[in-house]
């Protein structure tokens, strides 16, 4: 099948590559000519596990092409997927300017029946707007060409997006046109053979499903972080609490990881967007507001712990050198959007501290996001970042950080302290090397256990 993808970000590039891998001819359209040239050369502008190799293979095979020519791409397609960004406005509302631009472009170049699908995360009712924008373009051309609109929300996790697309746990389709549903079922048929669950529903329900799913996951994260805060005050260990809670099959352990809150391009934006949608329709989304509030506070938790530590040690925070492991908002990506690291670095610099940072993939993005500030040095080696530092912040749980050389850390860190923002380290093992670990959600009372319970399969 001939499929056109508008947008070559995380969603568009993964979607287009995945469809091409299944034998379709896919054309990805982007307005950024420099990015298109890069992609045509088999290079990708983002880091996503396995994506570089698959793009190269499908470009070489002729199944995957990249262009700025929307006209040619639309005229040959049986389906056009809109995968452009929907950035958050200041009031939390999703900005649909790029979706509108694509819809109008499709209307300007449509020649025959085509299914137009929004895969971007968009507010409920967007498909109807897309239909209107396309129809306006057709009216301006004086043409009556049939088309259908639909919603096909993505459920991709950055860091495992390609695997999620190739082996999804479900596909959700929203459409009011039987012919469109048939085409979309056909496109996804190679995935359905793998035991995929295919859910066809009305368009508004499909659009709502995406927001509801992301907000549910964000809620679990903020919930366990609030429980962690309570644990610290009452003398409990959240590492053990989460295991007891997560053992309940109705709850599970996924997304019950206390830490520094959620970041990235989806959860923060989608929670605030749904709050805006709810309020615009006269609802009071109290739970979503609490989720967002807890997350905003959680991002700077290590800073507050450091301030308390400095007070106890009677040390000035100004002049302190903080090694930081992890800049990306999560492992296996170079995405720093809404990353806790950025807020922590800004807070540390404002307090007069210095930062020595390391991340396996996200240092370039981090420097750009922070405008390469004075007071931050960037290190290719994780232990070089610790040389001469006073303490260590673990911010992102990349695999190389999970089993560190504690002896080497003890030799490098002046105060031999690790502020563990992801609860990765065994307190007792670190203590054997003279290191003190400050985890999240663990009481420091004498009766509280200091070593995490072993969790199989975490």
CA distance 149 to 203: 9
Tell me the backbone φ, ψ of residue 6, rounded to 5 degrees: -100, 115
Residue 67's DSSP bridge partners are: 29
Secondary structure of residue 348 in the 3-state scheme: helix
Query: Could you please report the per-residue DSSP string of 285-325?
Result: -HHHHHHHHHHHHHTTHHHHHHHHHHHHHT--STT-EEEEE
Residue-wise over 316-339: b if at least 16 C-beta within 10 A, else e? ebeebbbbbbbbbbbbbbbbbbbb
Q: Is 80 a catalytic residue?
A: no
What number of residues does the chain have? 458
CA distance 69 to 98: 16
The crossing angle, in degrees rounded to 10, of helices 203-234 and 267-280 is 110
Secondary structure of residue 341 in the 3-state scheme: helix
Q: What is the largest CA-CA distance in the chain?
A: 79
Handedness of CA 395, 310, 296, 215 (dihedral sign): positive
Among 169, 15, 160, 6, CA closest to 86: 6
Handedness of CA 408, 413, 415, 418 (dihedral sign): negative
Helix, strand counts (H, E) of the chain = 18, 14
Secondary structure of residue 98 in the 3-state scheme: helix
Q: Which of 80, 266, 386, 417 is catalytic?
A: 266
Among 363, 353, 297, CA closest to 325: 363
Contact 157, 164 (CB under 8 A): yes
CA distance 440 to 232: 8
Q: What DSSP designation does 89 have? A: P
Residue 200's DSSP bridge partners are: 173
Question: CA–CA distance from 215 to each of 63, 88, 122, 255, 268 (Å)?
Answer: 36, 15, 14, 12, 9
Host H or E run for residue 15: helix 10-21
Catalytic residues, by residue number, are 266
């Amino acid at each position: 099948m001939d499929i056109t993808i508008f947008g070559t970000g995380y969603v568009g590039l993964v979607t287009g590559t995945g469809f091409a891998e299944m034998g379709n001819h896919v054309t990805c359209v982007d307005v950024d000519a420099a990015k298109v040239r890069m992609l045509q050369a088999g290079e990708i502008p983002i880091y996503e596990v396995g994506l570089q190799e698959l793009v190269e293979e499908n470009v070489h095979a002729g199944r995957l092409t990249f262009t700025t020519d929307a006209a040619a791409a639309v005229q040959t397609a049986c389906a056009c997927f809109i995968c452009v960004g929907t950035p958050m406005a200041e009031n939390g509302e999703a900005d649909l300017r790029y979706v509108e631009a694509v819809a109008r472009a499709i209307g300007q170049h449509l020649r025959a029946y085509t299914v137009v699908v929004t895969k971007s995360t968009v507010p409920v009712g967007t498909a109807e707007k897309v239909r209107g924008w396309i129809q306006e373009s057709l009216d301006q051309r004086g043409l009556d060409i049939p088309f259908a609109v639909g919603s096909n929300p993505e459920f991709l996790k950055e860091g495992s997006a390609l695997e999620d697309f190739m082996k999804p746990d479900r596909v959700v389709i929203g459409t009011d046109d039987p012919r469109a549903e048939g085409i979309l079922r056909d496109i996804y048929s190679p995935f359905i053979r793998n035991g995929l669950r295919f859910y066809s529903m009305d368009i508004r329900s499909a659009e709502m499903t995406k927001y509801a799913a992301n907000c549910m996951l964000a809620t679990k994260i903020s919930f366990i972080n609030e429980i962690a805060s309570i644990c610290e005050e009452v003398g409990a260990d959240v590492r053990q609490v989460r295991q007891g809670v997560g053992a309940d099959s109705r709850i599970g352990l996924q997304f019950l990881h206390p830490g520094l809150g959620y970041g990235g391009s989806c959860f923060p934006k989608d929670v605030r967007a749904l709050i805006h949608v709810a309020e615009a329709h006269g609802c009071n989304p109290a739970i979503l507001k609490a989720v967002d509030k807890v997350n905003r506070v959680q991002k700077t938790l290590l800073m507050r712990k450091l301030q308390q530590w400095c007070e106890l040690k009677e040390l000035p925070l100004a002049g302190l050198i903080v090694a930081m492991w992890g800049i990306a908002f999560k492992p296996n990506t170079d995405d720093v959007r809404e990353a806790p690291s950025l807020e922590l670095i800004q807070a540390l610099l404002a307090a007069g501290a210095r930062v020595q940072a390391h991340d396996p993939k996200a240092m370039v993005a981090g420097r750009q996001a922070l405008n390469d500030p004075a007071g931050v040095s960037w290190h290719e080696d994780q232990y070089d970042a610790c040389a001469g530092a006073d303490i260590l912040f673990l911010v992102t749980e990349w695999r190389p950080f999970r089993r560190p050389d504690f002896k080497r850390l003890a030799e490098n860190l002046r105060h031999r302290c690790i502020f563990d923002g992801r609860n990765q380290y065994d307190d007792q093992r670190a203590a054997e090397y003279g290191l003190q670990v400050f985890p999240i959600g663990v009481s420091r009372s004498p009766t509280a256990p200091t070593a995490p319970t072993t969790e199989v399969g975490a």
